[in-house]
Amino acid sequence: MNNKVLISLFIIPLVLSNVASAAKCSDVSETIANKLENNYVIPSTATKLSQLIRSKTFITGCNNLQSSEEIAEFMTSELNKIANDRHLSVVYDPQWVNELKTYRSSAQTESFADSRVMETPTDNYGFKKVEMLDGNIGYIDIRAFSDSHLGGETLENTMKFLQHADGIIIDLRNNFGGSPFMVTSLASYFFDLDTVHLSTFESRENGVLTQTQDWTSPYVPGPRFKDTPLYILTSSNSASAAEGFSYAMQSLTRATIVGEVTAGAAHARRAEIVNNDYILTLPSARPVDPRTNDNWERKGVKPNIETSSDNALNVAYAEVLNSLIKSNSKNLGLHQWVYPLVKAKSSQYQPSQSDFNEIVGTFGERKIFQENGKLFYQYSNDPAFEIELLDKKTIVFKAFTEARLQAIYKNKQVIALKMLSLGEDERVFQRTM
């Protein structure tokens, strides 16, 4: 076989591949343009997006790509140069297309819904942890907002468990979103019987923009916490419904947000089948706060108190105790007892060997010594207890919280130890060695 024949055999598939790619780009782009033009939630942006994706420059750039994955990535990148929307994307995933078609067929919808009900309880409907912290402060770690008709009973039991809490901390640092109905259910516990306008949802379909309002419920099963100090923890990973709850409660001045600026994903999206290979994740709805006439898209929710995600719990814990102390709370003595410890932890103090050296010594019948890199406190011949420095002055026992020590300094030297016990008078022990 001569070289010309060989060359022609190699060229023909390449030409056919380019033609197929060109056809795919043109067809996919036109389908996506129509869906965006008629359904993207912001009409002015929808027009710009549809014009872009139909443009000759866009089609030419798409035609130069060799794989379906590259086409999807290119389209997503170009569209977001205009929209900058975390929920807008083009995805190449034939398996997802098939699954979505199966799910949306009337014969399968019920079985898929039943499956969802069976699977969600394995995550406890998003409620990861609930406990009472020292100082009578309630803590809830919510990892996802499940549909309220599924997780509503879990929410109810959670709030009943916390009914005597003096303050509440809701941890959304690892919450990526979920159902807006659970957001409404949760928010309703923190207001009285008078309903409160949380948000307005704008949705767009076939060129028609529709608005619906979201209000708190005049009824909740269980206790209300309308006057209970509320703190919400956020991180850069907190997204979507987690941001919606945080944004609304902050704009209503009902909660203090502590942590990091959130992800900035406000728009609600739906999956639109483009063809047998591609899916368009289409933002067709968005919340609009009635007080700010805005939302957190692209910006995120800015905390009232910014700190690292890792330290957010300590900071919020100290803040809620401090607010209770300032308000002369009914459990004032308890809050005053716990606050210094939590405040010290929030400073993220890292003790050095020189700090240990300052503390080590004999104080009458009591002594502090170091062994294997750890500090211990011992009275006379009693068993020794391991202790920890929360800062240069605050010393806690690892085994119990009913008592703690405070180092007394003079001229940068520890001259005495003060023993503090809950409900008892303080005692001072002078350094003897």
Please state, in angstroms and rounded to a whole number, the distance separating the CA atoms of residues 44 and 269.
18
Strand partners, 202: 211, 286
CA-CA-CA-CA torsion for 54, 60, 66, 68, nearest 10 degrees?
0
Q: 62 or 12: which carries more pLDDT confidence?
A: 62
Enter the DSSP assignment of 383.
P
Cβ partners under 8 Å of residue 28, min gap 6: 71, 75, 90, 274, 275, 278
CB-count exposure of residue 433 (10 Å: 0-12, 13-18, 19+): exposed
347 — pLDDT class (breaks 50, 70, 90): very high
CB-count exposure of residue 364 (10 Å: 0-12, 13-18, 19+): middle
The answer to whether residue 13 scores a pLDDT higher than 90 is: no
Average pLDDT over residues 259-268: 94
Average pLDDT, the chain: 90
20 — pLDDT class (breaks 50, 70, 90): very low
Q: What is the pTM of this model?
A: 0.82
Could you tell me the CATH superfamily of domain 102-326?
Answer: 2-enoyl-CoA Hydratase; Chain A, domain 1 (3.90.226.10)
Residue-level pLDDT at 118? 44
52 — pLDDT class (breaks 50, 70, 90): very high
Residue-level pLDDT at 6? 39
Average pLDDT over residues 77-99: 94
